[in-house]
Amino acid sequence: MVLAATVAAGLLSTGTASASDWTMSYLPLPPGGSGTARVAGTNGAGGYAGTADGRLVTWNGGTVVDHGVPDGYTRVEAADENASGSVLGSAVYYSEGSHYPGKHAFAFENGEFQFLGKVPGYYNSQALGTNDRGDVVGTVFNDIRYGSTAAFWPSGDREHPVKLDVPPLLSPVDIDQDGTILLNEQFGGTWLWKDGVLRQLVLPDGLRESRGIAIRNGKVLASTQLGDRLWTAFDTSQEVPSGMSTMALNGSGLVTGWVSPRIPTAWSPGDPVTALPSPGNAYGTVVGENGEIAGTLESGIDGIPVVWRRG
């Protein structure tokens, strides 16, 4: 496309590298659907998980499998996947006469939807992130109009989740391999919770707010009023260059996202932002530990799922 090529050329003059060592390929789609899907997670070794037409799908070895929707639910929302291939998500339903959705968190494992336990006093749950040992972070609620509460499902006993002992204005986003939970404060900053201790990410002078995006191996992505930043410690951060909007990172610090008007990009600290090849507007959504990036080529409601590989 002429527009994408023109903008990419402009970015090259401002410190963004070409994508000559990256290639893009399409992930297959389930037959009979709308022709769109969205990738939400990866096992880090070439396997991916997401949704197509509200149904859970997984990709492995170039093959897509449609796992459908649990009985009694209208659709699923995939959230994450860990190295063992456990896919995290939420099944959505509507109570009779209600216009507001309810949700039940699940882990899709061994070919089955396995619903996570409920926090006493809360009927609904939403899964947001998991780590390789199987810990899960999310929220619980009764009526979504009245807000939700942070919750944690430990890997050894996901039948008995607990509410996180954090202030009510903190909402969970993601969980790291060591159990550190990333949270955002309403109208405030970004926080880390581990073993009952809260620490706030230190913002550069002049910044008051941040929104955490993802955490991996102690590295945190967050957006601020002056652009996205990468924290390598709670008090140490650097600006993500070239105005890149970030979506995800892996444990090595490889980051993906996009730059305006929707050019997919990759970046690692110390390197320039790289524009990934694409025939149109697109963006990366997940990064595997193998260095692969999956994302979306914009088209229709969900877009077309794609993967970028280097070399």
Report the b/e string of 166-194 with b at 16+ CB within 10 A. Answer: beeebbbbbbbbebbbbbbbeeebbbbbe
The answer to whether 164 touches 181, Cβ cutoff 8 Å, is yes
Residue 8 has pLDDT above 60, yes or no: no
Using only C-alpha atoms, what is the Rg of the chain? Answer: 19
pTM: 0.93
Residues near 124 by beta carbon (within 8 Å), at least 6 away in sequence? 102, 103, 104, 140, 141, 142, 144
- Beta 16-17 vs 273-275: how paired, if at all? parallel
- Pairing type for strands 170-175 and 162-163 reads unpaired
The predicted pLDDT at position 15 comes to 54
Number of domains composing the chain = 1
Q: What angle do CA 16, 20, 23 make, to 5 degrees?
A: 115
Can you say how many angstroms the Cα of residue 162 is from the centroid of all Cα atoms in its chain? 23
Quick check: is 35 in a domain?
no
In a domain, 187, yes or no: no
pLDDT at 9: 40
Q: What angle do CA 249, 266, 42 make, to 5 degrees?
A: 40
Question: Is 198 a residue whose pLDDT tops 90?
Answer: yes
Instruction: Say which range, 6-20, 25-39, 40-54, has the weakest mean pLDDT.
Output: 6-20
pLDDT class for 96, splitting at 50, 70, 90?
Answer: confident
- Both tokens of 279, joined, read 């025939």
- Partnered with residue 295 across adjacent β-strands are 284, 306
Q: Which domain holds residue 142?
A: 69-164
- Beta bridge partners, 185, equal 170
Q: What is the pLDDT of residue 258?
A: 98
CA distance 134 to 16: 37
Cβ atoms of 58 and 42 within 8 Å: the answer is no
Predicted local confidence at residue 10, as pLDDT: 43
Does residue 293 lie within any of the structural domains? no
d(CA 56, CA 69): 7
The reply to whether 105 falls in a domain is yes
**CB 252 within 8 Å of CB 241:** no
Burial of 153 by CB count in 10 Å (0-12 exposed, 13-18 middle, 19+ buried)? buried
Mean per-residue pLDDT, 232-248: 97
Q: What was the pLDDT predicted at 73? A: 98
Please indicate, yes or no, if residue 120 is contained in any of the structural domains.
yes
59: in domain: no
d(CA 311, CA 296): 20
In a domain, 247, yes or no: no
With respect to residue 56, please indicate whether it lies within any of the assigned structural domains: no
